[in-house]
Structure 1
Amino acid sequence: MKSFEAEAMIYARSSTVWDIITDAGNFTVWASGITRIDGQVRNGGTIRIRTRTGGNRTFRLRVRQIPGEVMTWTGGLPLSLFTGVRTFTLSPQGGKTHLRVREDFSGPLIGLIGRAVPDMGQDCTGYVNAVKERAELIG
C-alpha cells in the first residue's frame, strides 16, 4: 500500500467545511487541485475529475458519505487490481473542525502502477490548506 495524508485544524464549523468539500460547482474556483469535475458529490454518486497532477487523464470516482463526518472517493482498475481511495474525515471540536485527508493506493498491481503515482503528499497538503483558507474566509 502507498499512502499520503494531510490534516489541519480549521477555525470554522464542520458544516461550513462539509459544504466546501462537497460543492462540486466551486472546486475549480478555489485552489482544490481539481481543474474539471462532472457529476455531483453525493452519496452513491459518481464523479469524473481532472486534476493538476493528473494532466489530461480523467478519473472516475465513486462517492460514499456519512454526511458531515466522512466521505470517500474510490476509483481504480477492474477486479481491484489497483485501487485509489481518498478519505475526507471531519471532526468537530467546539466551533472548529479537524480535517484529515488521506489517499491510499492498493491492489496486486501496486508495485507496478505505484511507481507511476506521483507524490500526492504535497497535493493533500495543498488541498487541506486551501479548504482551511476558504472555510475561515467564509465562516
Structure 2
Amino acid sequence: MHKICTDIVIETPINEVWDLLTDFDNFETWNPFITKIKGKLEIGSKLDVHLHPPGTKGVDITPVLTKIEPVNEFRWKGNLWVKGIFDGEHAFRLEELENGRTRLIQCERFKGILAPLILYVVGEKTRAGFEKMNASLKNECEKRNRQGLTQCVPSA
C-alpha cells in the first residue's frame, strides 16, 4: 500500500477550521486542489469531486463518505475506473492544539494493480496539491480569524 500524508498548523480554533473544511458549496472559492465537492456530509453519501493537482488537467471522482466524526475527521473511499485498479481512501483529520490552534492532517492511502505506476506519474503532483490546499485553508482561516469573524467561511 502507498500513501501520501501532509499536515499544517493553523492559527484558528478547530471548530472554525472544520466549518470551512466541510463547507463543500464554497470549496471553489478558496481551494486550488479540490475545486469542487457536491454532495452531503453524511456517511454513505456519494460525492462528486474534482481534483486538480498542479500541472494536470484534473480528474473527476465519485467517492463515498465512510467516516464522519464532527470537528475531528471525515474520510472517503473512491476509485478510478474499476475497483481494484487504483483505489484510494482520503482522510482529513483535525487535532485541537493549545492556544486556539489546529493541526490539519491530510492523508490518502492508495492500493490497486496500477497504484505504483499511477503514483510514479502523479504522486509528487498530488502531494503538491495537498500542500497547496493545506496552505490555502490556513490562509483563509487565519485571515477570517484576524478579522475577528466568528466563523471561518470564505470571504466574498
Fold match (TM-score > 0.5): yes
Between the aligned partners of 1:67 and 1:114, the Cα distance in structure 2 is 31
Provide closer, same or farther for how the CA distance between residues 116 and 41 of structure 1 changes in structure 2, counting only shifts above 3 A.
Answer: farther
Deviations 1:17-46 (A, max 9, x none): 111111011100013422333212333311
Larger mean CA deviation between 53-62 and 127-136 belongs to 53-62
Residue 30 of structure 1: aligned partner: 30
The answer for unaligned runs of 5 or more in structure 1 is: none
Residue 75 of structure 1: aligned partner: 78
Residue 8 of structure 1: aligned partner: 8
Tell me how far 1:57 sits from its aligned partner: 3.1
Structure-2-length-normalised TM-score = 0.77
Residue 105 of structure 1: aligned partner: 110
Deviations 1:23-80 (A, max 9, x none): 0111000134223332123333111111223636310011121111111121015444
Larger mean CA deviation between 52-61 and 68-77 belongs to 52-61
Between the aligned partners of 2:58 and 2:95, the Cα distance in structure 1 is 34
Larger Rg: 2
Residue 85 of structure 1: aligned partner: 89
Could you say what secondary structure the match of 1:46 adopts? Answer: coil
Tell me how far 1:131 sits from its aligned partner: 0.9
Tell me how far 1:112 sits from its aligned partner: 4.3
Between the aligned partners of 1:118 and 1:4, the Cα distance in structure 2 is 8
Matches of residues 55-70 of structure 1 in structure 2 within 5 Å? Answer: 55=57, 57-63=59-65, 64-70=67-73
Could you say what secondary structure the match of 1:55 adopts? Answer: coil
Provide closer, same or farther for how the CA distance between residues 73 and 121 of structure 1 changes in structure 2, counting only shifts above 3 A.
Answer: same
State percent identity of aligned pairs. 25
Provide closer, same or farther for how the CA distance between residues 133 and 42 of structure 1 changes in structure 2, counting only shifts above 3 A.
Answer: farther
Tell me the matched-pair count.
139
Runs in 1 of length 4+ with deviation above 6 angstroms?
none
The answer for unaligned runs of 5 or more in structure 2 is: 146-156
Deviations 1:114-136 (A, max 9, x none): 44434211111111111111111
Question: What amino acid is the match of 2:138?
Answer: K
